[in-house]
Amino acid sequence: MSRCSDVKNQATTAPLSSSPGFVPEAKVRDYLLNPNRRDHQLETIALEVLDHRLGTGQKDGAAPQSLFDEDTGSREEATEAASVLAKLAPVLTGRLSEQGSLTLFTDVEMPLVPVLTEIERNGFLLDVEGLHRLSKELERDLDTMIEMIEGLAGGEFNINSPKQLATVLFEKLGLKPIRKTKTGYSTDEDTLTQLARQHELPAQIVNYRSLSKLKSTYVDALPLLVRADTQRVHTDFNQAITATGRLSSSNPNLQNIPIRTAFSRQIRAAFVPEPSWVLVTADYSQIELRILAHLSEELRLVDAYRQNQDVHTLTAQLLLEKDIITPEERRFAKIINFGVIYGMGAQRFSREAGVSYGEAKTFIERFYGRYPKVFEYLQRMEHQAIAQGYDFSVSPATIRNAMGWLEKAGLLYQPHVSAGRVPSDSGYRIYVDQLISAPPPQVQDLGQTLSQRIGLGNWSTEALLRRTAQILSTLSGYIALVTLPQQTGARLKHFQLVPMEGGRAMLVVVTDNYQTHSTVFDIPGWDPETITPALEAQIRQDLERVSNCLNRQLQSQPFSQLHNLDWQALDRSVERYREAICSFLIALADSYKVPQLTQILMSGISEILHQPEFNELAQLQTIIHLLEEEQELLWPLIFETDEAAEQRSNSGAHLRSSSRAGSSSGPRAHQRVSVYIGTENPLEPMQACTLVSALYHCGDEPVGSVGLLGPTRMDYSVAIASVEATAAYLSEALR
């Protein structure tokens, strides 16, 4: 059996009858072994596998002559290549067998070679005249659009100049910039789509660019690619390029010809069959949703497919709660149907569907509510994928498939076409939940670092917290947040009962931090008809005696202990006034249990400027404004009591917080770490960030919180350990 490194490229230049047929091909073998590498040439494979450099006649870096080094002529080069192929074949075959891909190679990939070869050689017949007519039609439409755009802009400008367009949008029209690049404010498609909510001009620019690209990339370019000898377009099918295993084409790229618009469909219609022949288009109808219906056993989806219903229309009816659905509403439902499968969050759905973030979030939640089995299935898959883990000592093909599966499960996503896949908020959540279940080893070391850097100086409480925030931001590289302490540890210092006119008395309570609280109550048994000066004097003495009793028995008691106090055991002199005094003090103690807003100290804005997520000036300004001017919105997130966390968890927000009990004794026994990741944050400006926080204590009472704010891709092990160590340190320092 003959061997060739690239059968298809050789066969397309030879008569079809001389095609070498099903031959082992080094390029395909290497592709299956290294799918993420684009270079599968024989020279590369020989150097990597055999340590042999083609054309040199000797091993790379080796002194002895190679057995291949006979001559420099073409025959000798061919002989050398053939010998290399003969040596590569068993090595690559063995690796394919170990990887479990040998059957894929022999039964799928290699039989595909002659099929692609024949398609490439035959080429595609093109209706050139039809494309010329379409080009003129597009030219007229583009001229009309230019007039409309210049009318909206209030004057002429070069629409194809990003700089001039930015001047019109942001200076002349006064639209708010979305993000900034090195050369100025961005005018890319994503930016224009968002700006279209503010003004009609950006939407028309998007339409203009779309038509202009169709005209230049396809309508005008395709006729120029028709070969004179065959009168057809001959593309190259790339069998060994895409990491996902899909087939692509180049010279020209035919798989990316759009289909949604009327003009796009006219371009596709320009590919025509020979007379008396037909072109057949075949596609799996909603294959991903059919698989989802089967695997999740979601009855609504299963029944819809069994009854041949349109699933996108069904989803639109369920989400919009109406029976008659327009084509635009069906498109809206299609976005969310496929978006949920591929892990699309509320922010992206907001952009894709043209709705606000709040609406997008509501629709996604409603989708899961209407299809509960889908939500349950995706949750199970998330935990199966990450919680159980993967053995990555496997083939690249298996890793590729696993990465693709994780992306479909919503645990990975691709921010844009040229980017790699990164964890989604759901993916980070599963990782954090695992990480947070075991105490990180760095906690003790970080606590010692804080002690060494702060020292034993005579710090005021606020100065100590400010210094702690500075050190925390320096150690972590993120924004450090520390709240000033609550007054929950206040104690009773002095009581005074003061008689008033009309049979009333005032109870004045002073705390150890010199705050005063008072209440007025009716003196039990007071009757203006029977009261005498002697009785009034007796009541004044009673009130003074009760005041002394309260000072003697309750002085220095913390408010937190008043609920546990045995009021019946107080001196009998208090009995007459017990109900009024007790109810007031209990209410006062309850008020101290409710967290009061305190200032949030922050440090480390400069630490995050190098983070790419904060390169956009507008986004950075929004976050800084939140931290400096709207702390009342951030405060409930960073200072979250155990009761509030439990209530939030019981309400179904189980993905938004995590907790860990510390050691059995000491300050860490109180530590609970809370983590809000990305879209889990209820505050929209923070939905590109992660907030990690923990409470610090004074005695047994939580009095403040420590937090770190950074990108969702933050080093969670460092961030969680840093926050936990800092909270434990402050709890010890404030003891």
Tell me how many degrees the CA angle 621-627-633 measures, rounded to the nearest 5.
115
Supply the pLDDT for residue 324. Answer: 92
What was the pLDDT predicted at 531? 79
Q: What domains are there in the chain, each with its CATH number?
A: 7-122 (3.30.420.10), 128-269 (1.20.1060.10), 286-423 (1.10.150.20), 440-486+596-733 (3.30.450.40), 492-593 (3.30.390)
pLDDT at 412: 65
Model pLDDT, residue 560: 66
DSSP 667-704: GGGG--EEEEEGGGSSSGGGTTEEEEEEEEEETTEEEE
Q: Where are the alpha helices (DSSP H) in 383-532?
A: 396-408, 425-435, 442-454, 461-476
In the numeric block, which tokens belong to residue 503? 């049979």
List, in sequence order, the alpha helices (H) in 235-353. 262-269, 287-296, 299-306, 311-320, 327-341, 346-353
> Which region holds residue 522: left if phi is over 0, alpha if psi is between -120 and 50, else beta?
beta
Instruction: Write down the pTM of the prediction.
Output: 0.46
Work out the end-to-end distance of the chain between its first and last CA atoms, rounded to an integer number of angstroms: 83
Looking at residue 639, its pLDDT comes to: 72
Count the Cβ atoms, other than its own, within 10 Å of residue 84: 22
What was the pLDDT predicted at 659? 40
- Which residues are within 8 A (CB) of 159 and not within 5 positions of it... i.e. 6 or more apart? 146, 149, 165, 205, 208
pLDDT at 82: 81
Closest-CA residue to 237 (of 225, 246, 224, 227): 246
- Minimal CA–CA distance to 252: which of 131, 392, 110? 131
Please, are residues 619 and 608 in contact by the beta-carbon 8 Å criterion?
no
Amino acid 161: pLDDT: 86
Task: Tell me what pLDDT residue 371 has.
Answer: 92
Are 236 and 144 a contacting pair, CB within 8 Å? no
User: Counting beta carbons within 10 angstroms of the beta carbon of residue 301, is it exposed (0 to 12), middle (13 to 18) or buried (19 or more)?
Assistant: buried
Q: Determine the Cα–Cα distance for residues 714 and 716; give it in Å rounded to an integer.
A: 6
Q: What integer pLDDT is reported at residue 148 of this predicted model?
A: 92
Q: In what order do the strands lie in the sheet with 492-500?
A: 492-500, 504-511, 516-522
Q: Which residue ranges in the chain fall short of pLDDT 70?
A: 1-24, 56-74, 182-183, 243-244, 382-422, 436-448, 450, 452-459, 487-490, 512-515, 559-560, 562-574, 591-596, 607-618, 640-672, 735
Return the pLDDT at 648: 47
